[in-house]
Amino acid sequence: MEKTYVQTLTGLGLTSCQGRVYLELVRMGPSSAKAVSASAQVTRQDVYRIMPTLQKLGLVETVIGSPTLFSAIPIEEGVSILMKRRKREHYQLRVKTQDLLENFKNVEEKKRKEEDFAFVLIPPREADVKHRKRSLSKTKETFDSITSKRRFSQAVFHMFDTLNVVAKRGVKIRLITEEPEKGELPKELENLAKTSNLEIRYLSQPPKAVVNIVDKKEASILTLETAGWAQSPSFWTNNPSFVAVVQDHFDATWNKAVPVS
């Protein structure tokens, strides 16, 4: 039975020795450290070490005299103090646990976002065309593209309707290609450039890379830059580091390209 009582007190936050000392003091009344040591079977050194802790908890009081005696508060009050302390610790633990979960929730969300970054090789023809139209149609702010003259007229033919909708929605579109022959630029594109945020600049040489960038967040690179429309696989990614590299290449090319006169 004694062991069960001690276990109850340890469940309320005391150590085994602290529980035994407190229970003996409750039974014995005011007692010296020597008497408590003998009754509780705890060394006198440990009794002297334990008493300040029990006093700090409010479970034991010192009776000044010669010798100094120690007195336990009634068991009902002692258990009440320990239960309130336990509840307070439990509440503090819940707060800390919540903070822990929130912190690692942010870590997990960040990790998931990082894991969402993808590198995709899109096959040519139908899959490539659908992907390009889908990327262009969902553009919200900017669409940048470098393409070869061979692909340019074909791209305008296949993508003009989508390009028209996006441009009139206020998206800033920048296109770079080789300078066309006179009359080679489609009239529809010329008119769109006059009435929207569409800008076109020309290169004197074929581009070294054919790329598209959507909202500075997604980029695609043609793996065969000399291939015709929808005749080459394309490498697509939303990885920020890779997109930044492609964007830097576009911006540098844009600054060297010649504006439409």
SS in 3 state form for the chain?
Answer: CHHHHHHHHHHCCCCHHHHHHHHHHHHHCCECHHHHHHHHCCCHHHHHHHHHHHHHHCCEEEECCCCCEEEECCHHHHHHHHHHHHHHHHHHHHHHHHHHHHHHHHHHHHHHHHHHCCEEEECCCHHHHHHHHHHHHCCCCEEEEECCHHHHHHHHHHHHHHHHHHHHCCCEEEEEEECCCCCCCCHHHHHHHHHCCEEEEEECCCCCCCEEEECCCEEEEECCCCCCCCCCCEEEECCHHHHHHHHHHHHHHHHHCEECC
d(CA 201, CA 178): 8
d(CA 193, CA 146): 16
Residue 243's pLDDT is what? 94
Strand partners for 61? 71
Q: Class of the 2-80 domain?
A: mainly alpha
Residue 143's pLDDT is what? 92
With beta carbons less than 8 A apart as the criterion, state whether 50 and 89 touch. no
- Segments in the chain below pLDDT 70: 1, 107-116, 127, 182-186, 188-190, 195, 225-230, 261
Of 88, 55, 57, 85, the residue nearest 70 (C-alpha): 55
For the purposes of burial, counting CB atoms within 10 Å of the CB of 121, is it exposed (0-12), middle (13-18) or buried (19 or more)? exposed
Q: Class of the 119-259 domain?
A: alpha beta
With beta carbons less than 8 A apart as the criterion, state whether 20 and 10 touch. no
Domain boundaries, the chain: 2-80, 119-259
d(CA 75, CA 227): 89
pLDDT tens figures, 71-108: 988 999 989 999 998 899 888 989 888 888 888 777 66
User: Considering the entire predicted model, what is its pTM?
Assistant: 0.53
